[in-house]
Structure formats: C-alpha cells, structure tokens
C-alpha cells in the first residue's frame, strides 16, 4: 500500500510510483456484514445454535477496522542484535558515506531480516523507481514486491520507516490469505473494503483521515514506529 508522509498537503498521487501500484490500493471487492458472518461460520465452524455466544453486528465489526490509531497496537517484536546490526548502517553519518550499491544492499538486508522475524515465507523483492515527491513506497501484492521511491534515499530514517511499513503490509496480506485467526479475517475484510484517498487539484485529499485510520494502515505505521522511534545514531 502506498504510504503517504505525515501531512495531507502532498502532490497529486494519481500516478504515484506506478499505475500498477495505485491500482493495488483500490479495494478489489466488498464484504457485507452478512457475508462476514457466513464467512466466519465456515472459517471457525461456528455452531448456529450458539450464535449468541459469538454475535457479530455491523457497528462492532466496523470499529475493528476503521477509526484505528497507532497507539492501540502492541507487537511481540524485538529489535534484537541482528536487527540492530543492520540498522546501524542507516545512521546518518554512515549512510551518507555509503555508495548506491551499499545502500541497496543495506535496504535488502533490512527487508530480509524483517521478513524472517515476521515469518513471511515468500520475501518480497525490492524495486526502486522514480516516483513523485511525497511518495515513499508501496507493497504490490500481485507481484510480491516493494517499490521504493529513489527520492527518499537521501533520508535513511525515512527509508527504514518505509521498509518496515511495507513489510508489515506484506505480512498482513500473507495472513489475510492464510485466514487462521480473527486478526487474519480482519485484514482480509479491510483489504476487501480498502479506503484510498482521492487527490484534488489543490494538492489536498478527500478521505485521507479514513485512509490513514483504517486497520492495515494504522497498524503498519505502528509497526514502523518500533524502528524509527529508536533514534539511529
């Protein structure tokens, strides 16, 4: 998913990174509350006679997906020595002395170690592209790749944030396909009803708050904060 930076006043995003990427952030379908209940019946083998023990109403279901905030999420994820060693290469002083090839190696290494720690069984490939200012990166599930805007390569903290954010999206998509837990189901439901911001001529957006406060985006930002809230020397 395309990750916008902190402010709404960004340039037009109708052609962010690539047309394929922008297509990816549009919902591919929708799931009604009734469909959700039927889906869960099959997923968790719910006994209809005990439905009152597992009641689902539209309001509570929507509250699980929309209107979410970063501080709601906790992760069983530690920045251990292996990750710290990789992150050290993104320190400002070290980063500016790296060659382009060394920066690419560091980015791929960070993506690999995050994939391993998250249990992503098919690691996304990294693809660098020339996107517009204000675009950072995107996960494209159809191609299992993360697109990184070359414009952010001068800012190592932004690079770390983008890699962590997009790797979390890769994890969410994997779990949404596996459908083994309630959280997996919520990921699937969110992707089926994904809210994309609509760019306006003045550079602002419609639905930006709805976009950033949906489950998959708020959680991805919260996960990235684990990495970027630790100041890189």
At CA 116, angle to CA 115 and CA 119, rounded to 5?
Answer: 85
In this prediction, residue 25 carries a pLDDT of 38
Q: Judge whether 216 lies within some domain.
A: yes
pLDDT at 131: 87
Predicted pLDDT of residue 184: 96
Residue 109 predicted with pLDDT over 70: yes
Is position 135 within any domain? yes
Helix (H) or strand (E) holding 146, with range, is strand 145-149
Using alpha carbons only, give the angle 174, 176, 177 rounded to the nearest 5 degrees: 65
Structural domain contains residue 70: yes
- Domain that includes residue 187, residue range: 19-228
Q: Rounded to an integer, what distance in angstroms lies between the CA atom of residue 199 and that of residue 22?
A: 12
Percent of the chain scoring above 90 in pLDDT:
64
In a domain, 126, yes or no: yes
pLDDT digit string, tens, across residues 8-42? 222 233 333 333 333 333 344 555 556 665 655 55
In a domain, 74, yes or no: yes
> Domain for residue 198, yes or no?
yes
How far, in whole angstroms, is CA 204 from its chain's centroid? 22
Decide which of 128 and 42 is more confident. 128
Mean pLDDT across the chain: 82
Burial class (CB in 10 A: 0-12, 13-18, 19+), 231: exposed
Indicate if the pLDDT at residue 100 is higher than 70.
yes
pLDDT at 151 over 80: yes
In a domain, 162, yes or no: yes
The DSSP output letter for 123 is P
Neighbour count for residue 222 (Cβ, 10 Å): 19
Other Cβ atoms closer than 10 A to 141: 18
Domains held by the chain: number: 1
- pLDDT of 181 strictly over 90: yes
Q: Tell me whether residue 197 is in a domain.
A: yes
Higher pLDDT, 5 or 181: 181
The alpha-helical segments, DSSP class H, found in 45-195 are: 58-65, 81-87, 92-95, 100-118, 156-178, 182-192
């Amino acid at each position: 998913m395309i990750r916008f930076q902190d402010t709404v006043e960004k340039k037009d995003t109708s052609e962010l990174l690539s047309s394929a990427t922008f297509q990816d952030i549009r919902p591919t379908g929708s799931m009604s509350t009734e469909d959700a209940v039927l889906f869960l019946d099959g997923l968790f083998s719910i006994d209809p006679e005990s439905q009152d023990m597992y009641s689902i109403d539209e309001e509570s279901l929507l509250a699980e997906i929309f209107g979410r905030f970063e501080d709601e999420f906790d992760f069983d994820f530690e920045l251990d020595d292996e990750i710290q060693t990789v992150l050290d290469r993104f320190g400002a002083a070290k980063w500016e002395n790296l060659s382009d090839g060394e920066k690419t190696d560091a980015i791929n290494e960070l993506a690999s170690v995050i994939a391993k720690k998250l249990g992503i069984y098919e690691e996304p490939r990294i693809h660098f592209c020339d996107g517009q200012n204000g675009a950072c990166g995107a996960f494209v599930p159809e191609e299992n790749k993360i697109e990184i805007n070359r414009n952010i390569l001068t800012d190592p903290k932004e690079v770390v944030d983008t890699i962590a954010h997009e790797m979390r999206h890769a994890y969410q998509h994997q779990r949404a396909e596996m459908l083994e837990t309630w959280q997996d189901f919520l990921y699937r439901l969110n992707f089926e009803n994904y809210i994309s911001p609509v760019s306006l001529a003045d550079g602002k957006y419609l639905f930006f708050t709805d976009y950033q406060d949906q489950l998959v985006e708020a959680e991805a930002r919260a996960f990235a904060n684990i990495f970027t809230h630790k100041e890189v020397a």
